[in-house]
Amino acid sequence: MIDMSAWQIPPIFELLRKLGDLDPADYRRTFNLGIGMILIVPAAAVSKAGRALKRLGQPFYVMGHVARQRRGRGQVEYL
């Protein structure tokens, strides 16, 4: 699950969504919404990964978690 309130989406992406009249799912799938890369780490390693990224001068956000899907194919869910 991705919590979209975990970071501020740059205004340009909302402008593109409005101008293109994009469906929210297409919008999220097409644009990175200000997130260049997602690094998935075990919950126990979040602090360590955050410290390493901070030392490198990289901003980071804890923006969600991986959850077991009850049935069907896996998919990204947004909060």
Give the span between the Cα atoms of 1 and 14, in whole angstroms.
Answer: 21
Indicate if the pLDDT at residue 78 is higher than 80. Answer: no
pLDDT score for 57: 94
Number of domains in the chain: 1
Q: What average pLDDT does the segment 61-79 reach?
A: 80
Which domain does 30 fall in, by range? 1-79
Tokens at residue 1, please?
């699950």
pLDDT reported for residue 45: 94
pLDDT per residue as tens digits for the range 19-65: 888 888 888 877 777 787 888 999 999 999 999 999 999 988 898 88
pLDDT score for 34? 77
